[in-house]
Each structure stands twice: as C-alpha cells, then as structure tokens.
Amino acid sequence: MDVSTRAVLTAAASTLVAGAAILGETPLVGVSLALTLLLAAGWPVLLGLPSPLGSAVVVALGGAGSVLAVAATRGQPLLRDVPIVVALAVLLAFVNELARQDGRRRLVESVTGTVTGLLVVASAAGWVAAGRTPGATSLVVTGAAALAVSAAVSAVHLGVRTGAAVTTAAGVIAGGGVGAVMPAVGSVTGAALGFATGLLVASLHVLLDRVPALRSRWASVAAVVLPVLVSGILVYVVGRVLVG
C-alpha cells in the first residue's frame, strides 16, 4: 500500500468518525473501538515486535478498555479512569513478556513498543470524551473534517518541507471553515483544531516515509488509523481549552 493510498484511507476513516458523531454516542464508541482493534492488529507488525500476538492482545485490551471506560463515565473529568486502564494494561504487557517462550529476545524493544501502542490506542478515548464536551458533535465533526482534508492533501507528493507546510495549512483552512459554520465551535477553535491535526498528519507522513514494514498489509492498516486515533485526544484537549 503506497503513501497516497494510505493518506486517502486515513481521510476516509476520519470521515467515518465524523459520520458516527452525527449519528450519536453509541456509533462513535463503536467506530473508536473498531479503529483501536485495527491498530492493535497492525502495530506489532509495523514496529516488528518479537511477540506480535501477545502485543496485539495487550494493545487491543488497553484501547478497548480506555474507550469503554470513557463511555461508562458520568460526570467530570471524563478521562479520569483512562490512566487506570492504561496502568493495568502496562502490567499486562509485562505479563505478556513473562509468558514468552522464545528466550525473551529483544525484551526492551518489545515492552517499549507495546506500551507505546497502548498510549496510541488510549488516545482514541478522546473522540468519545470530545463528544460530551460543550460543542460535542460540532467539535468532533470539525476536528475530523480538518484531519480528513489534511490527510487527503498529504497524498500529493510535494517534498518534505513544502508538503508539511501545505498539509498543515490545509488543516487550518478546513478546520476554520468548518468551525465557522458549526454551532459552539467558531473559526478560531476550528483553525486551532486544523493546525493540530494538520501538523500531526505532516509529522507522521515524514516519520513513516519509507518504513520497510509498510510493505505488509497489516502494518499499512496501522499506519492508516494511527493519525485518526491520536487526533482523538488532540480534539478533546483543544475543545476543553477553547470551547469550555
């Protein structure tokens, strides 16, 4: 899967998040869960971890647990149970290493790679939390739209520096434009969301460029959903700061 295809699929996944937010919290939770499971399946392949099955299970449980913890939380702060889920998942990552029967080769790489995956999938809980902040649906739709446009623009081959600048600028313009027509968001908040998501897409585009593991289908799937998952926490934080 080449970089342009991955970028288009990332834009499609972002659009799916926006559509789910419009339909309600339950569809948004379902989409967030699905994306975490896709990342969990491909993450060990993307990083070349020595215990792919065990790492995938740990990351999947941590991601699903984080999303469901936010969905079950009533009152503020919405993310108060996520650190507990992540902490338990980190312990589970060590249990996974103890259960390995291959001599525990590349132990440090395996643990750090699995824990990093946990942090990524835990970010997906931000989409669900953002759906309960002031602005709610409008905030999620604006962030997802900015992410989708940024991802689509990144599919154009413009070079590293020019591509990063254009991708970020596209996110700012898209976020500001969508935010301007969305109630309770506004162009300033939308532009801030666009800047955050655009910069994220540009950074990951450079980071993952020419990674050999991306020849694998599942590694490519992980690369596709990675920006969408991480953007969840960005949208929530920007929404809490600028919307209330």
Residue pointed to by tokens 């920006």 = 227
Closest to 63 measured CA to CA, from 128, 136, 146: 128
Unique residue bearing structure tokens 């390995």: 100
Q: What is the pTM of this model?
A: 0.90
Encoded amino acid at 24, one letter: G
Nearest one of 180, 70, 176, 183 to 135, comparing CA atoms? 183
Strands (DSSP E) found in the chain: none
pLDDT per residue as tens, the chain (244 positions): 777 788 899 999 999 999 999 898 899 999 999 999 999 999 999 999 988 899 999 999 999 999 999 998 887 788 889 999 999 999 999 999 998 888 778 889 999 999 999 999 999 999 999 888 777 788 899 999 999 999 999 888 887 788 889 999 999 999 999 988 887 788 888 899 999 999 999 888 888 877 778 788 899 999 999 999 999 999 998 888 877 5
Instruction: Decide if 63 contacts 118 (C-beta within 8 A).
Output: yes
Map out the domains of the chain as residue ranges.
3-242
Q: Which residue has the tokens 């995938």?
A: 56
